[in-house]
Structure formats: C-alpha cells, structure tokens
Structure 1
C-alpha cells in the first residue's frame, strides 16, 4: 500500500483526496519508482476539472523524480537503485508508482530530485517550443506571456541564451522582477497596459517573430497584433480559458501569420525524439543556458491547497509535492 492523491469525480481542489492504494509489481516494460519529488503543472488542473478527461478514479500527475526500486520483465536500460526522472502517463501524485521504462531518463547526480521533478514537463516544453516548434535564433524578437511562471521563466532564460530579444508579459511588479531576473529584457504589466501597443513601442514597430502563449483566452486575439508578417503564434496552454474558434482569415489579414497548438506528448511520442530532447535540455543546463531553480515544495497531503493557489494565479515558478 502507498499513499496517493486520487480524483473520483471532476471538480475543484477538494476533488483531490489522499488515500491508500495498492501498488502491484511492475509489469513487462515497466519500472517502479519510489518518488522523491513530484512536479505540479497546470495540466494537472485540467485533468482534475475534467477539461482533459481521464478514466475515473485516477491519480493525477505527469512528472516526477526518484529511485528505481523494481524492474519489470524486458527492461534492460535501467537497474534497481538508478536515479531517474520522467514525464509520462498519469499516476504521479503517489509515494511510489509504476511507469513505462520508455518514459524514464537517467538523472545525473548533478541534478537534484526536486529539480529533476520540475525539469521534465516544463523543461521539455521549453525545449520543443524554442528548438522545434519555432527554432529561435540570435536576433529574433520573442514575446512570452506569463514570463514569471514555471515555463515562462525557462523560456525567458533559454531564449535569451539563444540570442533573442525577450519581452515578457506579467501580472504584477513583483512578477516583472522575476521575469527580468530570468532573462527578459522588457516586461509588460498586461493587467494595466495594452500589451500589443507596448510591444509596438518596445520593438519600434518591427513587432515579434514569435509569440509563446500559455495563457489563452485573455491574451487572444491581441497576441496576433504583436507579430510581424509571417510570424508565428504558438498557443501551448489555456490558463485563462481556451481560445474560442476563430476565422482563419484573420491570420491573412494580420500578415500571413502562422498559428499552432502543439503538445509535448506529441513531440516525445517516439523514444529517440524524447532522448534527443532530454539530452538537449540537460546540455543547456550543463552549459548554464538554463538554470532549474529550486522549486517551492509542499507535502503530498497538501495537493488541494497547491492547486487552489495555482488556479488563482498566485504562484510564481515551479512547485513540487514531497511524499
């Protein structure tokens, strides 16, 4: 038996219930991980509310880090005692879990468990956004919404290291300081300022090559007004609610723009791609292009309180649950 957070019906933070559940031995192709830290992400909120449906009851959580305590049949690349991190199927909010070995990577000793738990989903999201969806290069002008958030800070850091001119929107002066420290050269208080007009001022009318938007409804369609002709709008999250259907001719009217709604799980579906992306991420950390700050940590039993803070957008940076 292990302690885990389960959801029996979609709802608010109170839907997260701490329970004891059975944990079987790992099956073929699986490893069992005794978790040291569990990443908390906005996708966990979407799962809990039913916006991203899951078969009930379920244990939320898609990333974590810990030590392998058992190995299933057919697993050759991992051994008992290995330090690992993962992003993968549901089941993260638990003291221990089984997961497909294909979802796991070796965690270098130079990266702590708490950092490992938050570098996977957020770090690999930053990797595919900056290196695959739109390959940021020196001189590109980049707008990052929610620049003080967990993914936002990583995007600011890495885009700056790649030589981009980084503009970030934030919700408060305190969050502006966080985004600036992360690498943004300019910040915009989107609740007080017209961010599209400010982008025009900051870029002297040249606008941006790409907009990375994890906010959603509150920042669309004004984000399109921040893009230069042939620019790309990348919607990777919906913290303020999903973007409603829109007339695709709007993209032509605003400069033959591109728009995409990518997902990490599509990018890491093939093991080779997953390994390459993780290697690139770890290399960026080693070179100092990316610093995974120590996340805020909370007991596993306080998952509901953490979700309430995350939904109210009162948080900055990354958070982990500690079993």
Structure 2
C-alpha cells in the first residue's frame, strides 16, 4: 500500500488564486479561486476556451502578474516573495513568438545563451544542440520571418529551453499549427517530460489535452470546475455510448424507445436515418448487454453494434452546458500594464 510520502513532490501549487482586471468602469474577475497541484515530472493540461482565464493563471505562476488574492509556489518558491528564484527555474512559451523575426534562428538562440551566461564555445555548442533537437539545423542561418508556422513554434520552444528549465509553461503552443507541426510539438513535449521536466500546458484543443496531459483541469469563466486524469474525467459523464445501425430505418423510433427504456437515457437521433446512439449511464455497463436482446425480441434487426468511449468534448459539455469553442478570438484581458518587474 502506497504512502503519501511516496507521491512525487509538487512542482507547481496554487491556492485560491484570484485576479481582477479593470477597464473604465467595468471590472472583470479573470481568475476566480483557482487551486492547482502539479506533481514534478508530469504534464498538467489546463483546458478551456479563450477568455476562460488560462493565460492569466500562467502569467501569475510565471511571475508576470501578481494575483489579487491567493498564493502560488513553483518548485517550492513563492511566486511573489521569491520571484527571481522562480524566473531562474522556469521557461515560458506564450501564444505568440517571442523571438526577433529579423534575426536568424541561430542569432536568436546565441543572444539568449549569452544573456543567460553561456560564453564562447559553450554558447555555440548549446545553440547547435537546440537546433538539432528541434530539427532546425538547416534553417538556423535563415531569418525567422522566413520560417513556417511550425518552425516558428519550434524556435520559440527552443528559446525557452536555453537554460533547460525544470518547469515549462506552454500557453497554447500549437494554436494555428497544421496537424504535422502540432504532432512535432507534441513529440517535443514528451521528450522534455521523459528528461524530467514538468509541463503546465494551456490548450483549447481537446485532443491535445487527451494526448499529452497526465491530469487535466477544466477551466471556465475563471473557475476550475473539474480536475482529474483524462480517464477519470471521461468516466464522470458515464460509461460511454451505444452506437447502433438498423437494417430498417422505418423502425428507428421504435428502436429508440426500446433503448431508452433499457438504458434509462434519451437516445440521440443522428442525421443518418439508420443510425441511433445513446449514452450509457454511470454504473450502467451491465445494461448494455440487454440492448440487443430487447431489440431482437421486437424483431428489429441490428447489423452493426458498437460501444464508444466518452470524449473530453462530452466532459466539457456536461460540466458547462456548452461545447468547447475553438475558433473565437482571444478574449483574455490585456495585461501589459500589470507586469511586475
């Protein structure tokens, strides 16, 4: 039996974080009592739509904003009282590239390496290693403004890793990337974690959270409304779904009523006239075996029958009453005037 002392130490912890923004006479609570506990060596995904408060949480943890209430520690350092120690141990990649587009990839990384204390051959060696790790060696001599979107994200990630941070904050790192470039960034994140880094990832992509995160926090309107592993969150909305394809579309209404009585949930009616699906209720897995016999007793033929797993999309819909949008403009409040120096 495992003891609490066997659990990995927390790399990031926050209690009751609150942040307001004021514009004119209007005050918005961007973060409303957020608690976090991120074990070292893991990936924590903060999932929610634009404007939900994800970026504000990251900026507080990275010492770029000061919370109005609550506290936070990164690697045991208070983000306010020990801000310099936090900054020396973390890396941050924001939603937009932070490198100079008029410089080459190599020049950007060399500049950062020298600012961080690398000198002479050590700086060049570190830059060469990063360019190779991010498959940018051939592009190192080109200006960043000539890079594709995926290459820009990779050089931005490389810039945040010059000092090999123990904690990396990735704020929507794959927004706007094509699937191939997104997969490349995912592979990089996995390598970083395998090497011992802790990653806090904000995303509005359900698949990204599912692919990368050990644990996920669902945030909406500044509040963290659920936390857990992907599997735990999916189980919270039920055991999955039953998907049927009928031989006779004319009997779909009758089949839907039988499924409703058997499972106790209201079936969904897809546009395909032969299709029918219904959610399996929590602790209702034993009812699934009764669906086909009940339909057979009524003489309804079902040539195709399958069980599906809940998705994170269903989790978000259940928790908030609305689907997770991915195409709205960034609604996070402007924070330039709030940055602490």
TM-score range for the pair, normalised by the shorter chain length: under 0.3
Q: TM-score scaled by structure 1?
A: 0.26
**Which one has more relative contact order, counting CA pairs under 8 Å at least 6 apart?**
2
Q: TM-score, normalised by structure 2?
A: 0.25
The structure with the largest alpha-carbon Rg is 2
